[in-house]
Amino acid sequence: MADYSHDCPILHVDMDAFYASVALREHPELVDVPVIVGGAQRGVVLSANYLARAFGVRSGMPSTRARRLCPQAVTLSPDYDTFTAVSSSVMETFRQVTPLVEVVSLDEAFLDVRGATRRLGSPLEVAEQLRATIHDEQGITCSVGLAGSVTLAKIGSRRAKPDGVVVVPPSAVTTYLHPLDVGELWGVGEKTQAMLHRLGLVTVGDIAHTPLRTLQRAIGVALGQHLHGLAWGDDRREITPRHGAFEADKSMGANETFGRDTDDREVIVREILRQTTRVTNRMRVAGVAGRTVTLTVRFADFTTITRSRTLPEATDVTQEVYRTATRLYDALGLQRARVRLVGVRVEGLVARTAVHRQLLLGEREHGWSDADRAVDRATLRYGTAMVGPASLLTARP
């Protein structure tokens, strides 16, 4: 497959039937039947898997109508804690590729990967790496649109569903855009789409080939200007890094899927240290500290458990977070249970300037905190491979 993505650094990544996919991960026995999430009694459908969508079931549909369309569907109650945890992990995966991540909702985000191509390959290669990582770590799939602009990337991901990638190179913008319905353009909702259709403007090409002044007289100056520009692929909006409202609890985390499932404690706690080091380094760069340490463990059958402990004082010290996470793991008392993934998260972040640590009697004036900052300075200058905990010098599992 030829790679035409070099001029397409904007990615729109959209999880496929996110809520339903996460719910099915917890209920693998339902993978071959239509499933609806939410919509109990007189509520509305939160999500549906693709088997249920084939019967016409859609998000936001009244549950009574959904049951009429697909009476054989199994209805599951939404687990918002799990949805949020999976979403946070996915967004952290994005931020490991680029800091330019604009979170749109729980299940989608825009990424600008211009700065990542030198180390990770072309934008298409980055997209495929992200898709593989999300599938391996979370057990769900996503679709990605790649383009030179936000609008085209969004359209591309929609056309890539489910579980695909669509690249819209600059040379193919009009060929790709003009046959599409006007409802595909950014900002065109159902009412605007219906109005445009009444005016005979059915496709994006109809918008593009209508003189701008004629279009503005018909639908208004601002909207006419906006849609005419989009119809010719003119979208100069930049990615604005931001977290979603669901991430307002202020946390940072990292996780890793092992190359093969393992029950070796030494291997597992070494990976806990690796993830802790990544998290606390990011915390220090951001100038924050946190009190609550959360450990995530996913087993070979995708069963996932989390355990948390709140410390007396907020910290950004690697050894303190690692020691707490390791104690949480040992407290699980696992006996030969094979582990697929481990993750570490620090929650309740506050500005480090607001943290006043009390020096304990007998404690060294210079300790692990100073060592962390020395390592930070060294890695900033020489790279992450040059210095780190000795136990991480062994090959990764």
Q: List residues bridging with 344 in a β-sheet.
A: 254, 295
Among residues 26, 92, 102, 108, the one annotated as catalytic is 108
Rounded Cα gap, residues 328 and 275, in angstroms? 15
**107 marked among binding-site residues:** yes
List the strands of the sheet with 10-15, edge to edge: 101-105, 108-112, 10-15, 142-147, 165-168
Coil/strand/helix, residue 57: coil
Distance CA 397, CA 394 (A): 9
State both tokens at 252: 């940072």
Does residue 108 carry a catalytic annotation? yes
The Cα angle at residue 213 between residues 218 and 220, in degrees rounded to 5: 40
54, 73 contact by CB (below 8 A): no
H helix or E strand, kind and range, residue 261: strand 251-262
Was 261 annotated as part of a binding site? no
**What is the sign, positive or negative, of the torsion defined by CA atoms of 42, 45, 49, 50?**
positive
Q: Cα separation of 146 and 58, whole Å?
A: 26
Q: Which residues are catalytic?
A: 108
Which parts are annotated binding residues for Mg(2+)? Answer: 14, 107
Which parts are annotated binding residues? Answer: 14, 107
